[in-house]
Chains A and B, each alone.
Chain A
Amino acid sequence: MSNDVDFQLSLESEGVGEAYPDQPLATTADSQVGNVMQLLRTNRSGAILVCEDSKVVGIFTERDALKLMASPIDYTKPVREFMSPEPVMLAARATVGEAIRKMSEGGYRHLPIVDDAGEPKGVLAVHGIVRYLVDHFPETVYNLPPNPKANPRTREGA
């Protein structure tokens, strides 16, 4: 089916910029982890990049934050101690297909996007991928019953 080829082509040719990356939210490694958690909340963001000399050295996600809520700690400690160091990243010229593979294989929900110099350009969240896919599957929108429960699955009386 030619449309499949088209879809494959767009996945392998369209850059990650098409999958609605977020502006990078960043902080320094010596920032207090409590301040970083509040920054995530204020920005309604699931992840923040931890940078040193404009390079990404780690990522701190809401998963990391959850652990610090379950066992409260001294929130004035630096985020360096709680971040995931050396996160899997995407090159700014990576394709959407590459992003989907990396995210699915690693189980990540956020991938930092960096340029050739290693400077953060954005963060690709799983929701951006979902939105991109929905854009490419327009028929799925129209074919959905407005209320699936209202449609009998078997013929009445049959």
Chain B
Amino acid sequence: MSAILCPFCEADIIEGVDTCPECGGTLMDLSRRIPASRVEGDLLRDRIERLWPKSPSTVSPTATVGEVLQKMVAEKIGCVMIVDQGKLVGIFSERDALVKINTDAAKHLARPIAQLMTPDPVTLETSDKIAFALHKMNIGGYRHIPILFQGKLVGVISIRDILRYLADRIAAGGRK
């Protein structure tokens, strides 16, 4: 019989208890759910910090679309974060460029990025589980998610980071 871990604090818990004795999290509807494989167990246990989120490439909302595109090409990145006075206010990705600019570059290059960015993007904390990021990406169709630490932008993870994490674990047959 596999051990059951509290999904909130990872303490070993006894099947059937209603709350985690360690963190007090409610386990009412979790008692029968045991990860099906070790790869899945890793996903549930490991936190996003384990993916070593890359430092985000940031620009101010007044940066021009042209500057942002140049930056994305030069730094070989798929998205930039738009930060205003230390606060994340938007994200601009390759997909945004394809949909909003396409062959009309000449018309848009001098505009501020604030007009084309996707405002208020979905974010996660470094302490959130990788499984959560996987699901956000699957459901939202996102390729990048900004990562916060105590509310402050510290990084970005991409779908490739998660794929690499999974490929490593699948090759190793589970937890490393």
Decide: A66 near B25, CB < 8 A? Known: A7-B39, A140-B131: no
> Do residues B94 and A63 form an inter-chain contact, with CB atoms below 8 A?
yes
Partner of A11 from B25, B103, B106, B170 at Cβ < 8 Å? B170
Residues of B within 8 Å of A134, CB to CB, are 134-135, 138
Q: Could you tell me the distance between the alpha carbons of A11 and B40 in the complex, rounded to whole angstroms?
A: 14
> B: which residues have CB within 8 A of A?
2, 7-9, 22-25, 29-30, 33-40, 43-44, 66, 69-70, 72-73, 78, 94-95, 97-99, 101-103, 105-106, 109, 125, 127-129, 131-132, 134-135, 137-138, 141, 143, 159-160, 162-164, 166-167, 170-171, 173-174
User: Which residues of B sit under 8 angstroms from A46, Cβ to Cβ?
Assistant: 94-95, 98
On whether the beta carbons of A66 and B73 are closer than 8 Å, the reply is yes
Residues of B contacting A145 in the complex (Cβ-Cβ under 8 angstroms): 7-8, 25
Once A143-B44, A153-B127, A154-B23 are accepted as A-B contacts, the answer to whether A66 and B37 lie under 8 Å apart by CB is no
Q: Is the CB of A1 within 8 A of B37?
A: yes
A-B pairs with beta carbons under 8 Å apart, 21 shown: A4-B39, A4-B174, A8-B170, A38-B102, A41-B98, A41-B102, A46-B98, A66-B73, A72-B106, A72-B109, A136-B36, A137-B131, A137-B134, A139-B34, A139-B36, A139-B40, A139-B44, A140-B43, A143-B44, A148-B125, A155-B22
Q: Which residue of A lies closest to B139 (CB)?
A: A134
Q: A1-B38, A62-B94 known; A152 and B24 CB under 8 Å?
A: yes
Dominant SS at the A interface? helix
Chain B neighbourhood of A101, CB < 8 A: 167, 171
A146 to chain B, nearest CB (A): 11
Chain B residues, Cβ within 8 Å of A144: 7, 129, 131-132, 135
Give residues in A with beta carbon < 8 Å to B. Answer: 1, 3-4, 6-8, 11, 34, 37-38, 40-41, 46, 62-63, 65-72, 75, 97, 100-101, 103-104, 107, 109, 126-127, 129-131, 133-134, 136-145, 148-149, 151-156
Closest 7 A-B residue pairs measured CB to CB? A70-B69, A104-B167, A140-B131, A72-B105, A137-B40, A3-B37, A34-B103
For the complex, give the distance between the alpha carbons of A111 and B137 in Å.
Answer: 19
Residue of A nearest to B5 (CB): A143
Please report the C-alpha to C-alpha distance between residue A129 and residue B174 in the assembled complex, in whole angstroms: 18
